[in-house]
């Protein structure tokens, strides 16, 4: 069984998600701009309070949502995309590793969230710590031996050794 965490297909999917988020931000911005234009065209002294309240609510919600998209979605995605592109273009290490534990703790590494994997290098019994992207469905079994390909200690690919 082989698991590809970082691959050309994955990079393509990340780009598609990134473009989708940019399109969401641009689309909602244009919708807000249209609302603002309508407000300035239609408002008058008797309706100004309604427009101010409505505009404040919509603008606040838009800013809050956009800030969430930037901070929680777009930023880690772009960091992981950049890391993935670098990883595929550089020399990667391959080790045969017996998996000791798949960590449940999440840490931020290079701008994206990562989980820890602990294992021992099969030949030299060196204790190894690897990271992998936190939302990845890494179905590795503890005690089994895998050939793990990494870049900067982040797992690119894992394949179970017979």
Listed in sequence order, the DSSP H helices in the chain are: 8-42, 48-68, 75-89
Q: Is 88 among the residues that bind other proteins (CB under 8 A)?
A: no
Cα(119)–Cα(45) distance, integer angstroms: 70
Nearest approach, Cβ of residue 76 and other proteins (Å): 7
Nearest approach, Cβ of residue 141 and other proteins (Å): 22
34 burial (CB, 10 Å; 0-12 / 13-18 / 19+) is exposed
Q: Is 8 among the residues that bind other proteins (CB under 8 A)?
A: no
Nearer of residues 113 and 159 to other proteins, judged by Cβ: 113
Figure out which of the listed residues 133, 150, 154, 156 binds other proteins, where binding follows CB under 8 A: 133
Interface characters, 90-109, with other proteins (x: CB under 8 A): --------------------
Residues 26-85 within binding reach of other proteins (CB under 8 A): 39-40, 43-45, 48, 51-52, 55-57, 59-60, 63-64, 67-68, 71-73, 76-77, 80
Q: Residue 157: which of 138, 141, 142, 135 has the closest Cα?
A: 138
Contacts of 87 (CB under 8 A, 6+ apart): 6, 151, 152, 154, 156
Q: Is 119 among the residues that bind other proteins (CB under 8 A)?
A: no
Residue carrying structure tokens 């427009």 = 51
Q: Is 142 among the residues that bind other proteins (CB under 8 A)?
A: no
Strand partners for 146:
97, 160
Describe the crossing of helices 48-68 and 8-42 by its angle, rounded to 10 degrees: 170
Q: Is 136 among the residues that bind other proteins (CB under 8 A)?
A: yes
Residue ranges binding other proteins (CB under 8 A): 10, 13-14, 17, 21, 39-40, 43-45, 48, 51-52, 55-57, 59-60, 63-64, 67-68, 71-73, 76-77, 80, 112, 133, 135-136
């Amino acid at each position: 069984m082989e698991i590809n965490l970082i691959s050309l297909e994955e990079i393509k999917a990340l780009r598609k998600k990134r473009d989708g988020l940019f399109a969401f931000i641009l689309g909602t911005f244009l919708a807000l701009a249209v609302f603002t234009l309508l407000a300035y065209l239609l408002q008058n002294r008797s309706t100004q309070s309604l427009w101010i309240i409505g505009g404040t609510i919509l603008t606040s919600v838009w800013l809050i949502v956009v800030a969430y998209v930037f901070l929680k979605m777009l930023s880690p995605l772009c960091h992981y995309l950049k890391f993935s592109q670098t990883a595929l273009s550089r020399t990667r290490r391959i080790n045969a590793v017996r998996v000791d534990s798949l960590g449940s703790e999440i840490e931020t590494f290079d701008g994206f969230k990562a989980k820890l994997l602990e294992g021992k290098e099969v030949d030299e019994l060196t204790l190894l710590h690897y990271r992998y992207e936190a939302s990845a469905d890494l179905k590795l079994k503890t005690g089994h031996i895998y050939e793990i390909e990494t870049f900067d200690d982040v797992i690119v690919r894992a394949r179970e050794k017979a």
